[in-house]
Structure 1
Amino acid sequence: MLRPLSLEEFSGMLGSLYQGPLESIPWSTFLDQLKCSMGAKHATLTLRPPSQHVDGLSINTAGSSAAMSASYNQYFYTLDPFTDLPNRQVVICTEFVSEKDWLESEFYKGFLEPVDVFHILGADINTSLGSKCRIRISRDRASGPFNQQDKEFLASFLPHLERTVILHMCLNRIESERNLYAGAVDKLAVGTIILDQDGKVLQSNRLAQRLLAERDGIELVNDGLQVGTVRDCQEFHKLIDQALLSQKGKNPSLVKAMRVQRPSGRVNLGLIVRRVQQSEWSDGRYCPAVVIFISDPAQKSTALEEIVRSLFDLTPAETHLTFQLANGQTIDEASEELGISRNTARAQLRSIFSKTGVTSQTLLVRLILRSVATLG
């Protein structure tokens, strides 16, 4: 029999439910608590039901078999009679399917009986964002059937479960968009470093991490940044302080640029310091406050040759030459690198100019570096 929860216990389960979207395996803690509270063998939350087009996406409690989930996604979902339940209503399987039909079903005989599952309690939730999720609680035959008290217990969590699923979807969408834009910045060969309100580094992308590791013009010291010469560093921190003051004063966005000398003698780095526009309700020490964009002129183009070739209808030879020029070589250096004569290189360059509509090598380089090819 289900033991009534104290207010403290119920509050703890609600806390686990709302923490669910932030767990590495979402809702795993809550599902384990739900399984124990209801004397169940398994508890499963399905975020995406399987279909002929996509596999299902489910979270199971500890002890559930991965092979069992795989067999359901590959075959048994088509035989499952306990689906398409009334929206937001808790249902016992024998209320939905007669016990006789349940026992005689291929789904029970082939999928549930071998793992000693008989009693199932569940609910389907169709969220306002269009997703369809399911929660299923199961017991073995010896543990006895679910009753009205069990139904009411699970029902008490359904409105909260729906809200957390919607939160999960929103967070997942934000994370996907963040990864998309971060990947685009990486492809554009721009280093980005994000600072918090104390000027400490919160996050950096791959190019910025490489530049920091090289310690050639910019480096990380005690969670803060040091750049170039002493004069460069003074100017840099002055710009950061201005951006932070702009942030606190809610002034219009501040953008400043500077060049940074590199001890190695390589071409100077270009830096842009910019205030991060925060939402009206942003708060907290770890909110992004300032972003630094870093341009490394020595960085080679990351555009894919096949994409450049398709975009501008170039031949393979013309594409190779275009890349040598985009990466800073002269026509003589490119012809030597490619093992072709200077005259052949010039003939190919004229053809490239004709196809791309530019009239100089400088414009060609600019066209390639500004095209969508770098996002490939």
Structure 2
Amino acid sequence: MADARLAMMAVLDTVAATPRFSVAWGEEALLTPLMHDYAAEVPFYSALPMMEIDVPFTVDMIYALQGAGARETWLDSRITREWVVPNNLDDFFWLVLMRQPTRTGTFVIITDRDRHQITRAELDAVSLLSPHVRRAVTIGDMFEEERRTAGLFRAVVDALSHPVLIVDRAMRILFANPAAEQMLADRGTVSSTHGQLSFSYAEADAAVSRAVALGEHNEFALGAAGINVPLLRARAPAVAHVMPLARRDIRARITNQAAAAIFIAEAGCGPIPALDALAALFGLTAAERRVAGHVAMGRSRAEIAQASGVSDGTVKSQLAAIFDKTGTGDQRELQGLFRELSPPVRQSPTS
């Protein structure tokens, strides 16, 4: 799709400065020296904290993030002189997929010098792909250590310390690993009524149910929905991730009725900001998330258009999509929803 030479996806342990896992595609003669000799010398890692999730960046866009001297630093680096230039490489699509206190997930697609310059339409296409890669990386990261010693899906799920529930399209529980069984027994964050899964936080319950139904019907249409869904009334900040199973091999589903696997994980070191919670609960795209952020700051439609560098009509369409997804009727109601979600994950004295 990107007419590229190489692609790499990895989750990096930012404390140990080592990869938790990585996957690469492309010519072995190009990949081997990059992985063994030059990966640590890439000067763009300092830009990662400034990059938005699901938004692809080109090399020029990263220069702009890093500021004066960034371009010269890259052109003068050993990796450019010894690897990029001799192999006729040029630009890239670079995405941040995961940003946790101790690890970062990235996806890089490297293009050839003879290829045409990356276009806005191509960036938009990769942006649409990004949430699906992010889902794979987020859930894959939870699997990785167990995957090294267990090969079967059920064995891996059983061994996970994270609660995992397999549900059908109607949210009936088909399987729960031991950690999930304990969570169900506690009847706090999640519960089972006549075998049907529900979450104590109504917005999370609706968001997860929507993601399960949509993933069973049209997995690609999921986009960012069902990733990092914030769960209220958790003993510690927690989120849910939905992994569609309907199109998977039966061995990766446990039963042919399975529509999705729901993973519950810690949300990091603290509450999720309201904007991130809104995006996760209602599956907002990166562009919709930015517009919603402007609304949260009290900006008018005209001010949003000016700040975003787009037409009033574009903002009007984006707002209409946001109102439809969130069930709000105007910017005032959307601001009210932000207030309800601030903070979206908090510890209750009684929980």
What TM-score comes out, normalization by structure 2 length?
Answer: 0.35
Structure scoring higher RCO (CA < 8 A, sep ≥ 6) equals 2
Structure of greater Rg = 1
